[in-house]
Structure 1
Amino acid sequence: MTPDEYCQQKAAQSGSSFYYSFLFLPVNRRRAITALYAFCREVDDVVDECQDAQIAATKLVWWRQELERLYNGKPEHPVTQALLPVLTEFSLPQEQFLEIIDGMEMDLQQTRYLDFKALSLYCYRVASVVGLLAAEIFGYQERKTQKYAHDLGMAFQLTNIIRDVGEDARMGRVYLPIDDLQRFGVPVADILNARHSDNFRRLMEFQIERAEQYYRQAMAELPASDRKAQRPGLIMAAIYRTLLDEIKRDGCQVLSQRTSLTPIRKLWIAWRTWIKA
């Protein structure tokens, strides 16, 4: 299996909505974004699948070392081998890959966030930085597109948090800011014990509106001249905003279920968005 095939398999197996946004890209950009996505999956899996935090931390140290080898032209892992030709073609800085690992390390160090400011740093590292790297791969002419990519990454991560409240709680993690929980009268114990209430529904509707605000900001910031190049992000936004609509329509039952869209529906949204953009 070649490094590119490894990354393709990693992306396809994940079932992520991101996979559908890559389908219509030219071969070189599709190969690059798939390698970036595979890197993100590898380091994320370290945290999600490793039960021992110390072992997970050691593995992330290895990935930091592997990035050093990558930027010295001597990568060992299939994902970094696939990334090697991408670095110079699209000018991807090492610091941003390291920021992604910083974000993953936050999951090993804390399971609560006191306020949205604290959560924003986490979202920036695990999602906005990925958005900035992706924007380089897709291509842009105006610097304002970087602001679009940053805010779109924030919106995506907030959507992930909303969708995965129950799943995260079962791993002992609560990403919803503590001051938001207090504002809406929702004890952390209700999240951890999957106790749905009217207060919880109102809390989640507030979280959905915050995510929507970032989507609106991002769309307003994207220059018309870069719209076609950035279509993969627009596809993801269309899929994720549809997902938020479904969650809200279901009464925000995210403690007991994980709302998702069918592959055929994602493909339809992707195709429709690509044609319209």
Structure 2
Amino acid sequence: MSGAETSSAAFCADLVRTHDFDRYASTLFVPSDKRRPLLALYAFNAEVSRVRDQVKQALPGEIRLQWWTDALAGNGHGDVEQNPVAAELLLAIRSFDLPVDRLSKLVDAHVFDLYNDPMPDLAVLESHFRDTSGTLFACAARILGDHSEAVDHVAEHAGLAQGVARITARLPYDAARRQLYLPHDMLRQNGGSEHEYYAGKLTPAIRATLDQLIKGAQEQLVVADGMLADVAEQARAAFLPMALVRHDLGQMAEASFDPFELYLRSRLRTLWTLWRAS
């Protein structure tokens, strides 16, 4: 690698290690020559998913996301590859034939983050997870050598489960900024409202809604586990984060779990869980 390439790769690694340690740790258990493209993919996701945290209004956020959409389409303004994450991502796309349309959908899905509209229903939430977590699983498996339809099926189910675990872990943070990812229709059917959620009150309605989501996510993991045998052996490491999701959902399903207390898993636990799964 040239000096510039080394610098860009190191930038991506640092970004993922800082903002998405779970995925960073999972790259420690793949062949060394596949770590760089995986970290490029995950750094791209970290950049896109953090836009809401970096802007005060929606419009600047939409502009940032549009920059990524343009970069993926080859319509970027200026020298896109001066951006270290974009440079690494575009190299990974060229090297592993990653699906640009799916990566663009991932960017589009995060437009929802910029506004305070509640998640309307479970179908929209599941579509969001397919376009975000599901896309990352599928692209990671492609980098590791499997382009089959089996990968896409496992990625969809694993992505749905991971999505539920992530919004549950982030619930107190999202509630404080008035961001509702719990399906609004499910919350209302259980007798609740977004107002009690924003107030940080663990009501029976919020508990029931979370229990439904967590149970469904655990069922998705079982399906994904059953399909893993159809994935090429060298690509199964792309799904190592499923072990973390399984652990987290188990903790979150406990009656003593308070979703309004920030859920934190230690880095040691993360590494230990991934090592055992590997």
With normalisation by structure 1, the TM-score equals 0.90
CA displacement, residues 81-128 of structure 1 (integer Å, 9 cap, x when unaligned) = 112332232111221221111111122255212211121222222221
Output one character per residue of 1:40-69: Cα deviation in whole Å (capped at 9) or x when no partner: 111111122211111111111222222234
Q: Is the 8 A contact 2:151 2:231 kept in 1?
A: no
Residue in structure 2 matched with residue 259 of structure 1 by the alignment: 263
Partner of 1:236 in structure 2?
241
Aligned partner of 2:107 among 98, 101, 117: 101
How far apart, CA to CA, are the structure 1 residues paired with 2:153 and 2:62?
Answer: 31
Partner of residue 25 from structure 1, selected from 24, 30, 34 = 30
Unaligned stretches of 5+ in structure 1?
A: none
Quickly say closer, same or farther: Cα 1:140–1:219, change in 2 above 3 A. same
What is aligned with 2:3?
A: none
Q: Aligned match of 2:274 in 257, 270, 273?
A: 270
Which of residues 129, 147, 150 is equivalent to 2:135? 129
Offset of residue 8 of structure 1: 0.5
Which of the numbers 82, 85, 94 marks the counterpart of 1:79? 85
Q: Which amino acid aligns with 2:197?
A: I
- Which amino acid in structure 2 is aligned with residue 56 of structure 1? G
Judged with a 3 Å threshold, the aligned counterparts in structure 2 of structure 1 residues 83 and 118 are, in CA distance, closer, same or farther, namely: closer
Query: Aligned partners of 1:98, 1:47: CA distance in 2, in Å?
Result: 17
Secondary structure of residue in 2 paired with 1:223: helix
Kept in 1, the 8 Å contact 2:165–2:249? The answer is: yes
Map residues 180-191 of structure 1 onto 2, 5 A cutoff.
Answer: 180-191=186-197
1:4-35: CA deviations, max 9, x gaps?
A: 00000001111531122110111221111100
Contact 2:137 2:238 in 1 (8 A): no
C-alpha RMSD of matched pairs (Å): 2.2
Dislocated runs of 4+, deviation >6 Å: none
* Separation of aligned partners in 2, 1:198 and 1:4: 47
Which residues of structure 2 form unaligned runs of 5+? 1-5
CA distance in 2 between counterparts of 1:121 and 1:266 reads 27
Kept in 1: contact 2:51–2:61 (CA 8 A): yes
Deviations 1:222-272 (A, max 9, x none): 235524521241x211112111222233633112x1212111111111111
1:66–1:76 contact (8 Å) kept in structure 2: no
Aligned to 2:202, what secondary structure does the other structure show? coil
Paired-residue identity, %: 24
Matches within 5 A, 1:37-76: 37-69=42-74, 75-76=81-82
| Partner amino acid, structure 1, of 2:51 | V
2:50 alignment partner, SS class: helix
Give the distance between the partners of 1:57 and 1:199, measured in 2 at CA.
Answer: 33
Question: Displacement of 1:38 after TM fit?
Answer: 0.2
Equivalent position of 2:151 in the other structure: 145
Q: How does 1:161-200 map to 2 (within 5 A)?
A: 161-200=167-206
Question: CA, structure 1 residues 63+88, in 2 after alignment: closer, same or farther (shift >3 Å)?
Answer: closer
